[in-house]
Chains A and B, each alone.
Chain A
Amino acid sequence: MSSPSRTDARPAPALVAPTLVAPTQLAPAPVPARRGTGRRIARTVAHHAFLLAAVAVMVLPVLWALAVSFKTPGGVFDENPLPWPATLDNYRVATQDFPVWRLLLNTTVMAAGATLLQLLFAVPGAYALARFPPRGHRAVEALIVVTLLVPPQSLIIPLFLMVTELGWRNTYPGLILPQLVGTGLAVMLLRDHIRAVPATVLGAAVLDGARPGEALRMVVLPLLRPALGAVSILLFITSWNEYLWPSLIAPGMEDTTIQPGLAFFLTQEGSAYGPLLAGSMLATLPVVAAYLLASRRVTDAFMHSGLR
């Protein structure tokens, strides 16, 4: 054993710097080395057993959906979980008999639109709250935080009536604008990120004669790109998965988004489970791709948030 301290169970022993200070002088091994090794192995096994069990439960429905999407119609109700013989028929039916591409396009426009719109409203507000909060900033923050605690579903009736009155049913504005309901979260997350931008960096820009607007555009926004990416992905996934609102405001086969659209496969005469799950895989792929591209960043979105 190179180091008897317990920290060597972690893959970052460099932090202990064993070459500079002999760890034995600081922390004499409290247990004989051999027992320690056995315990460490047991701990590693328990660690992976715990996480593997969790992963198995969490991934099961996703794998099941993936498997069924490749099954033949006769095999859908088989007890055999594996899609054999495999077929692409479900994807063919989903994309030819149902307007899945059209629905995916609608969903993309809605989610991208809602994300951009929320950022457009949130960034200046977050900047002001972080860098030059006005006298009444506590009241403004309270006004924003309260909106995070209102369940959006309890606003659905007035929102439905407002959008109907504006003549926006079955339109993109009708799908997108009410999602400004969630802007408060973006403001609070971005405010904390802007606060984390070192004051000296901003100070230098201001000494060079930058006005606040210029400082925002030329210093804060470039520095904020990772945080903006993270918050965008979060907003995008939330909007993409929206189910109730599009089903109410744009229920038509061609006008709705993919989430309520998948329910078209479930009919009284019989449900097309294979094509439904094929469609759901097409709906899931873009989000998984977005998440994989920036999975670290999604965590970072909350790094400076009030969670700590």
Chain B
Amino acid sequence: MTQLSQVAGGRGVSHAPPSGRLRDRARPWLYLAPVIVALLVWVYGPLVFTGVLSFMDWNLTAPHPSWVGTDNYTLLTDDPRFGEAVRNTLVYAAAMLPFATLVPMALAVALWKRPGRVSNVYRTLLFLPVVLAPVATAVVWQFLLDPLSGLVNVALGWFGLDPRNWLGDPSSALYVIVLITALKVVALNTLLFGAALATLDRGLLEAAALDGATEWDITRHLVLPHLRRALVLLGLLSLVVTWPWIFSNVAVLTQGGPDGSTDNVYYRMFLYAFAFFDAGTASAAAVVITAGLAVVLGLGLLLTGRRQRVVT
């Protein structure tokens, strides 16, 4: 019986018979060891390594690093381009937020309201931006946004608007990158909101409808509250997971330009490391990014009162 309660969902090991106690106590750690070791080696080790490197001067092409104290951080604060990258990063994150939360939530609710074959077709088509190759995504938008013949400018022309060089103009380039990337974010998060909705009991809503609740009542008081947790979680996670997509678009389309207007901390870090081969400064940038993100996520969780169970 003891074993049953353990294997079948029991929590404690305290009731184990004396003979098997040590083994029972060691067993979970045996199962957990691989993943703990993997994360220590590939996440926590590198995190510490980055911290140490940020106090070193290490040209990646030279053999030996040397200790330079906080010089790398001074270099960052003195570099106006890094300051601009930080500001741009905040604009990126803020501009992306509705595309990680409200837009996909509206789409997921609409799909969920009328289940069936038609909605499944919509759902599949809406996921497509995620699977389009990153370089292809960027190149297609280069076509569509072409200042002269691009479809976007042609379409704007139908409404009497003048063509613009959307990616060549420092005042619009960042927002264009956000919009291009937003397609992938919306696609993924629509699926995730859909998963959250799949656990909502339709019978409950039928009952509410029978009691005379209007469709808006049901959406407002049952569906949206059910999604609040997903909303907070996906909003915060978008601060972590959208950067690879933004990165590939910036790398192919603008390389941070024009005038550094699409630069961000991740792209700048990449430049420090792999264009200037300056591992120390790049690591200092990585530390600033990680610490800054930790503060933002911490504040976000604190403000939304969801400290205990983020993903667990």
Contact = CB atoms under 8 A, between A and B. Distances in A.
A23 B132 contact: no
Interface string B86-103: 000000000000000000
A10 B309 contact: no
Contact of B230 (A284, A304, A308): A308
B202 A132 contact: no
Contact of A150 (B7, B135, B144, B290): B290
A61 B129 contact: yes
B283 to A, nearest CB: 6
Interface stretch (B35-43, B67-75, B76-84, B162-170): B35-43
Contacts of B243: 151, 153
A298 B191 CA distance: 8
A57 B183 contact: yes
B195 A128 contact: no
A132 B196 contact: no
B115 A55 contact: no
A124 B33 CA distance: 9
Contacts of B215: 6, 9, 43
B289 A243 contact: no
A26 B214 CA distance: 14
Size category, B interface: 35 or more
Given A7-B209, A262-B133, A263-B252, A159 B42 contact: yes
Nearest to A125: B35
Given A6-B214, A133-B11, A259-B134, A145 B311 contact: yes
Q: Is the interface of A mostly helix, strand, loop or mixed?
A: helix
Interface string B132-176: 111111011101100001010010000000000000000000000
B209 A158 contact: no
Given A10-B113, A65-B132, A306-B233, A154 B4 contact: no
Given A124-B32, A134-B28, A307-B195, A237 B110 contact: no
Interface string B20-56: 0000110111011011101101111111011001000
Size category, A interface: 35 or more
B191 to A, nearest CB: 6
A27 to B, nearest CB: 5
Contacts of A243: 134-135, 244, 247-248
A237 B311 CA distance: 21
A159 B49 CA distance: 9
A155 interface: yes
Nearest to A43: B215
A300 B197 CA distance: 11
Given A27-B212, A58-B128, A292-B124, A131 B133 contact: no
B304 interface: no
Contacts of A79: 149, 154
6 contacts: A58-B187, A64-B143, A263-B135, A298-B127, A302-B191, A306-B311
Q: Which 9 residue pairs of A and B lie closest in terms of their CB atoms, listed nearest first?
A: A280-B136, A302-B195, A128-B31, A158-B46, A125-B35, A158-B49, A134-B28, A262-B135, A124-B31
Interface of A: 5-7, 9-12, 15-16, 23, 26-27, 30, 43, 47, 50-51, 54-55, 57-62, 64-65, 68, 77, 79, 81, 120-122, 124-125, 127-135, 137, 140-141, 143-145, 147-162, 177-178, 180-181, 183-184, 187-188, 195, 199-200, 202-203, 205-207, 212, 215, 237, 241-244, 248, 258-260, 262-263, 266, 271, 273, 276-277, 280, 283-284, 287-288, 291-292, 295, 298-308
